[in-house]
Amino acid sequence: MGSVGHAPVVPADPNDYVITDDPAAIDRDLLFTWLTTDAYWWSGGLSRQVFDEALDNSICFSALTGSGAFVGFGRMVTDQATFAYWADVYVASAHRGRGLGQRLTRSALEHPALTTCRRILRA
């Protein structure tokens, strides 16, 4: 199991996954490719610069393999006071069906920066 708090924890089982909110864990090039080629619902013509700004202004969550490969993502758009919106959840096709989307969502909903949010919308 992984943890949230800017520090990926190496799982005891190398086949397990880590969920982290460490911005450095995001493979931005790979994520941009996924979202602009595979995620038809996302790609609305945003530039890479706008994409990077969106990530920089959100609380982002990454799913990593036990060896550290980036295989999933989701981001919380929030004022960190009363409102949050869970968006852009994506899991690499080879890692789907293993509950990673649910683990990303659970980690986001339990994040300490969102404890006072009264409204959390999920895409």
Contacts of residue 105, defined as CB under 8 A and 6 or more positions apart, other chains included, come to 74, 86, 89, 122
**Is residue 5 situated within a structural domain?**
no
Record the pTM: 0.86
The reported pLDDT for the residue numbered 43 is 61
How much is the pLDDT for 80? 96
Domain that includes residue 31, residue range: 17-122
Whether 12 is in a domain gets the answer: no
Token code pair at residue 114: 């969102």
Q: Mean pLDDT per segment of 10 residues, for the chain of length 123 residues?
A: 45 74 97 84 78 96 94 97 95 94 94 95 86
Residue 40 lies in a domain: yes
57 in any annotated domain = yes
Is there a domain that residue 44 lies in?
A: yes
Q: Can you give the CATH number for the domain in which 117 is found?
A: 3.40.630.30
